[in-house]
Amino acid sequence: MQKYQIAVLPGDGIGPEVVQEGMKVLLKLQDLDTSFTFESTTFEWNSNYYIKHGRMMPNDGLEKLKTYDAVFFGALGDKRVEEHIPVWELIMPIRKQFQQYVNLRPIKQLNGITSPLQNEEPIDFYVFRENAEGEYSNSGGRIYDQTDQAMAIQNTIITKKGVERIATYAFDYARKNEISRVVSATKSNAIIHSMKLWDDVVNEVALDYDGIELDSIYVDALAAYFVNKPHTFEVLVASNLFGDILTDLGAALVGGLGLSPSANLNPERNFPSMFEPIHGSAPDIAGKKIANPIAQIWSAALMLEHFGRDDLAAKIMHAIEAVLVNGEVLTPDLGGNASTSEVGDAIIQELDKQL
Ligand code: NAI
Ligand code: MG
């Protein structure tokens, strides 16, 4: 029997609401499938914790998380705490210290979901977003603050090694899945140092993959292609910022943030990987019990895939799609009037039917 240790970080706002549904689904799977079991520990490292202790996690927080097979994460963000604090004191340390340099984001139109686009062909691709460096760096600073000469410098960090490993991961995925084209998001015509190095390294990696075409496209044009011809994409590799923006756009094409999961992967498995929806803590709907839990539940499926249990992940996806196709139990973001836990329950009922 396979046994997994999962660290659960519900976070703030709707984070705990949707994580609860994700955990319900995992528990149900464990009941129904005896080949799999897990143990979870919940860490309440969130904005309340910060207000009480002046930090987002204990000193040895990362040491604690390191012993787990995976981190199952909700979302952080609370008006009482400055926005950059949870990002730079909890999310970024986990992603960077645990070398979760691949941020995998499926942009997939599930059965039962209509896109705001009048597209005939299904949208189904993977974005591999560089997750450890790039535009999201804390290198830089401000001088002459509060004066007319106020100046800020924010450095982008692009390294050969960093680009090589994310591009290699994307190309490996393409080869494994017999996909013949990898698109790289660039802007080397304007960002001539960092994006030029990005292009050079991606080009070099592509040489090792016979039969897979590399298509480097400027990110502004890509934004338009996401709308014009999203069905033409299969694998897209992008820097941290470009990937972040494009995937929110992608999410909007396939049902919205409430349906969009992500995996922060450490491919070498030296550290735990982390699974979370791409949405934030949604303070506008927090506490109303109407958050869509599907992105979080899909993240649980990505976690099972990471554990090598594609079979269990497929069961979750099948159950999610059955609920969407049925269309009776949907949260308001999808035009329904069901609550977060009613959607979780409906997915569990579908799992029951399957197993
Ligand atoms: P958001 O993703 O929290 O919300 C954007 C919009 O989408 C809101 O109208 C919200 O109600 C809706 N939405 C999001 N998730 C939903 C769900 N599951 N079901 C139904 N509707 C959903 O992004 P926003 O408003 O920009 O940020 C809110 C807070 O979240 C901020 O503090 C931000 O820093 C934080 N944040 C945290 C992230 C993380 O923890 N990884 C990622 C993105 C934002
Ligand atoms: Mg984002």
| pLDDT attached to residue 146 | 93
Residue 120's pLDDT band, with cuts at 50, 70 and 90, is confident
| pLDDT attached to residue 41 | 98
Q: For residue 289, what are its two tokens?
A: 């019990």
164-173 mean pLDDT: 98
Q: What percent of the chain has pLDDT over 70?
A: 100
CA 337 – ligand 2 centroid, Å: 26
Which option is the CATH number for 114-253: 3.30.420.40, 3.40.50.1100, 3.40.50.300, 3.40.718.10?
3.40.718.10
CA 248 – ligand 2 centroid, Å: 6
Residue 218's pLDDT band, with cuts at 50, 70 and 90, is very high
6-28 mean pLDDT: 98
Residue 40's pLDDT band, with cuts at 50, 70 and 90, is very high
Same fold, 1-101+267-355 and 114-253: yes
Examine the pLDDT at 355 and tell me if it is beyond 80: no
Q: Looking at 47-61, 116-130, 289-303, which range is the least confident one?
A: 116-130
| pLDDT attached to residue 228 | 93
Q: Which residues surround ligand 2, an ion (CB under 5 A)?
A: 244
Examine the pLDDT at 2 and tell me if it is beyond 90: no
From the CA of 18, give the closest atom in ligand 1.
Answer: 18
Q: Which of 257, 259, 288, 289 to mutate to test the pocket of ligand 1 (most atoms within 8 A of CB)?
A: 257
From the CA of 76, give the closest atom in ligand 1.
Answer: 40
From the CA of 285, give the closest atom in ligand 1.
Answer: 11
> What are the backbone angles phi and psi of residue 213, rounded to the nearest 5°?
-85, 135
| pLDDT attached to residue 93 | 95
232-256 mean pLDDT: 96
Ligand with minimal distance to 95 CA = 1
Residue 185's pLDDT band, with cuts at 50, 70 and 90, is very high
Examine the pLDDT at 354 and tell me if it is beyond 90: no
> Thinking of the domain 1-101+267-355, which architecture would CATH place it in?
3-Layer(aba) Sandwich (3.40)
pLDDT in tens, 77-94: 999 999 999 999 999 999
Q: Which of 12, 281, 284 to mutate to test the pocket of ligand 1 (most atoms within 8 A of CB)?
A: 281
| pLDDT attached to residue 64 | 97
Residue 155's pLDDT band, with cuts at 50, 70 and 90, is very high
Examine the pLDDT at 24 and tell me if it is beyond 80: yes
Residue ranges per structural domain of the chain? 1-101+267-355, 114-253
Single-letter amino acid, residue 336: G
Examine the pLDDT at 119 and tell me if it is beyond 80: no
| pLDDT attached to residue 259 | 96
From the CA of 83, give the closest atom in ligand 1.
Answer: 34
8-19 mean pLDDT: 98
Q: What percent of the chain has pLDDT over 90?
A: 94
pLDDT in tens, 245-271: 999 999 999 999 999 999 999 999 999
Q: Which of 56, 85, 279 to mutate to test the pocket of ligand 1 (most atoms within 8 A of CB)?
A: 279
Examine the pLDDT at 328 and tell me if it is beyond 90: yes
